[in-house]
Structures are given as structure tokens and as C-alpha cells.
Amino acid sequence: MPHFEHVFEASASGESPITLLALHGTGGNEHDLVPLAQELAPRAAILSPRGKVLENGMPRFFRRLAEGVFDLDDLTQRTHELADFVAEASERYTFDRARVVAVGFSNGANIASSLLLLRPETLAGAVLFRGMVPIVPSEPPALGGIRVLLSNGRRDPLVSVAETERLVALLTSAGADVTLAWQHSGHDLVPAEVPLARKWLEEQQWRPSARG
């Protein structure tokens, strides 16, 4: 399987309704979002890889040329590599590929959005914290049946309100069911987002047939 340093935690109950694909932000690692994932969905299995690109020694999931300017060739390559990793991990750890839900923060949210746009078969849904448009595909994907929660800050210096609305429009136009939750915050997560995302996850019906 494509090599990523990663953590996998099977469902504590032995019956995992979903597997959360935990995707850290710049400078994070495979351990960073595991506690958050556990809090968001206590019964879920968790797959948490470490980004393979280093920026000044800090792990990321893809290269950027400047703040908010992405290396699209590298992004495309890394997106396909991550999608292949998830597919092969599902065989190794025997979790249901049809019920993988990404939970990403910042750079992790952006690679999750890229998965939705370039390899939509990888995810049944996503929780995106501080996400922005990573890439606009030449052909829009078919995202019918995929549910997305996007939680962004109105005072975020890195992701503007207009950029947030652009991501919502891009995903919605491809058929995704997008819930946008605004936070009175900047780029950092705030405590209110945890119960919000947990409730949203609990309300979804993550069945294999949900994506048609």
C-alpha cells in the first residue's frame, strides 16, 4: 500500500458505523486529530495519516507556493496517493470503504476537499474545519449523496468569507449536500464546534447505499 506514517484505531465497540479519516493541519502529525475524532464519533474507527510533504520541517499533505497558492500538480498527485492509501487500508484493516468520512483541519480540510473533487469514491462525507477551494477540476465530479459540514471562522485571516462561499458553491454545484456553520473566530477551532460536528455526524445515515 502507499506508505504513510499513520495511526489506525478500530472501533471500541467492534461495530463501527463509520471510519473517520483524520487529516491534520500544517505542522501536525498522525496523532493530532485522534482525540478530536474520538470525541466527534466515539464508536467510529479512525484512520489518521501523516502528511508526507515538509514545509520548513512541518508536515503537510501537499506543497504550496505561497500562503493560499497551491502547487496544483503536487496537490493532484498527493490526492490520488492518499485515495489509494485509504482504499488499501480498508482491505488491511477491514473497514467499509463506502462509509469513510473525512475530518480535516486547514491543510487537512483542503486535501479532504480535493479528495471529494478528484476522487469522490473515497469519501461518503466530510467535516471540514477552515477549508478553502483547493482545486477546480476540469470536469465536475458527481457528489450526489455525499454530505459535507463546513465550519469556518468569519474573522479568519487565511480563509475569507468569499472563499468559504466559493467552496460551498463548488461542492453544491457538484451535487453535495453542504451544511455551512459560521464561527465567530479566526483560523483556530473553538469549543462550540465539537458538539456541533458531533451532532451533525450523529444525524447522518451512513449507509453504504447513501451515495447511490
d(CA 100, CA 16): 11
Q: Which residue out of 16, 48, 106, 113 is catalytically annotated?
A: 106
The alpha-carbon radius of gyration of the chain (Å, integer) is 15
Q: Which of 24, 114, 151, 156 is catalytic?
A: 156
The yes-or-no answer on residue 187 being catalytic is yes
3-state secondary structure the chain: CCCCCEEEECCCCCCCCCEEEEECCCCCCCCCCHHHHHHHCCCCEEEEECCCEEECCEEECCCEEECCEECHHHHHHHHHHHHHHHHHHHHHHCCCHHHEEEEEECHHHHHHHHHHHHCHHHCCEEEEECCCCCCCCCCCCCCCCCEEEEEEECCCCCCCHHHHHHHHHHHHHCCCEEEEEEECCCCCCCCCHHHHHHHHHHHCCCCHHHHC
Q: Does the annotation count 106 as an active-site position?
A: yes
Q: Find the helix or strand (DSSP H, E) in which 181 lies.
A: strand 177-183
Q: Which residues are catalytic?
A: 106, 156, 187
